[in-house]
Structure 1
């Protein structure tokens, strides 16, 4: 499943454009995890292609976003390229605290994930984006599936996100309906937007959707760490999660044994850096223009040779 671009001898120093590459320390495969959204597939395949250019053996492994930490702790998995501050920070910090996982730094991308609605819905719910307006117009977002409750289209269950907890804590008259896949979620948005049908859903950045469609994120009480752990925090003294989602970096994490076994790969992964605009453009090429992930990754590799070759230089 790796995007193989070049073969290299595992033990010899390789010259790339006159630059000495780090020596490959082990022929064992470095296992990078794949998830179920386009941006993560692009990020991970870029990193795989860069490591392959340095001569490493790379294996891409499909893994659950949160459950993957068990494999990273044991060394059955080695690298996860996207842990979002918005949904994965708690699991990441817990795994790092156990000692089996290391935080390998920021990717350069900044995450925003929150409830989002098309701008045309403000005609039916003029109090938005204030979250307090949601119950006043729950009927505007209701469907036959949810009855009298408003419908919130959440991401796949494996993404986490605490939407059910937020609904309960804030007393919202809404039901979460989880999309089966990332693609299905945005296909439903496209369909609703074209017909100007009601829709309230999970939208995230970096992504093409906030750029393509006119809309707004719901403004919940600002996130603080205590909101997720201390019921006394916030408007509901008996429940946690009575706030919005955190905003912040997208992180890279790895098995704690990786720096010792593959120090050159460890250096390259820590050096990896891509920003939101570049990633959003690549996601759009796949999701909107119909290019394959492989083609988009190869385009990026060809256009950014000076950048990624520095990541693997000795």
Structure 2
């Protein structure tokens, strides 16, 4: 893997600086779109930057984890957000098998974990310790899950191993997957307004932690062996008896990108943004109702000094 990344970095370092519209191929560079607002913003910013350089860009809806098959073959070219919290394993496997390379970190740090509104701590005083959850499972139960508590997970395509964790830690909970990112946070809004019990998947960067007071559940600290070695952790018969990993959000792509579009590959590698800026843009779309295209246009106008060097301008 390290050798592959070094080769990509060398190819990008040697890539010529492109003047506007001097592109190596007019074939479309296919960037993948997923089902959460931040990823749509990140990808549309990257698309706008590449278009400013004269590239032909195509945005393609793709499954978050299944997209690696297309990236390996070159049917897809760039995925702008692979979260260490949920996508690291699939990313590492794809890179090791060949055809996929990392273009580095986005600059954002990912956190995805079980979360509850702060008012639930009064009703379940053992929180945030995960061991308190079984004592309070009935508080989180719904008619569909009783007597088990209900955990509102992200869309099933996001992965995350929540079912495996519940089994490994013996939690008296059932995962109910939200159909969409928007539906998940709409349910949080409704519960929060009524002060109803809710336990759900919350992630950062996102606006939810600014709007709602709450805490993440504290599970045993993640180590790589937790996901692969049953001997690790409190349950010697199961893996995933720990919290989710925290870490970077990565950019990945087809290994042939740097050869076919060296200037574009250099721009993808140069792309960077932080959690604060991204959270603010997500809030504009999700909370203020601003069109995603307008948010991207606003960022492009305000940050020319940032993105123009990515494409040698």
TM bucket (normalised to shorter chain) is over 0.9
SS, match of residue 59 in structure 2: strand
* 1:219-259 Cα deviation digits (max 9, x unpaired): 00000000000000000000000000000000000000000
Contact 2:20 2:52 in 1 (8 A): no
Tell me the residue number matched to 2:306: 307
Q: Distance in 1 between matches of 2:210 and 2:130?
A: 22
Q: Distance in 2 between matches of 1:262 and 1:95?
A: 21
Tell me the residue number matched to 2:116: 117
Tell me the residue number matched to 2:244: 245
Tell me the residue number matched to 1:232: 231
Q: Distance in 2 between matches of 1:36 and 1:292?
A: 16
Q: How does 1:31-50 map to 2 (within 5 A)?
A: 31-50=30-49
CA drift at 1:21: 4.5
* 1:21-43 Cα deviation digits (max 9, x unpaired): 58310000000000000000000
Unaligned runs of 5+ in 1: 1-12, 15-19
Unaligned runs of 5+ in 2: 1-16
Q: Distance in 2 between matches of 1:76 and 1:239?
A: 37
Q: Distance in 2 between matches of 1:292 and 1:27?
A: 29
Q: Distance in 2 between matches of 1:250 and 1:188?
A: 26
* 1:271-308 Cα deviation digits (max 9, x unpaired): 00000000000000000000111000000000000100
* 1:56-93 Cα deviation digits (max 9, x unpaired): 00000000000000000000000000000000000000
Q: How does 1:67-86 map to 2 (within 5 A)?
A: 67-86=66-85
Q: Distance in 1 between matches of 2:241 and 2:48?
A: 42
Say yes or no: does 1:272 pair with 2:271: yes
Tell me the residue number matched to 1:98: 97
Q: How does 1:42-191 map to 2 (within 5 A)?
A: 42-191=41-190
Q: Distance in 2 between matches of 1:305 and 1:211?
A: 28
Tell me the residue number matched to 2:29: 30
Stretches (4+) displaced over 6 A: none
SS, match of residue 197 in structure 1: coil
Q: What count of residue pairs does the alignment treat as equivalent?
A: 297
CA drift at 1:210: 1.0
* 1:185-234 Cα deviation digits (max 9, x unpaired): 00000000000000000000000001110000000000000000000000
Q: TM-score, length-normalised on structure 1?
A: 0.93
Contact 1:81 1:253 in 2 (8 A): yes
Q: TM-score, length-normalised on structure 2?
A: 0.94
Q: How does 1:211-222 map to 2 (within 5 A)?
A: 211-222=210-221
CA drift at 1:147: 1.0
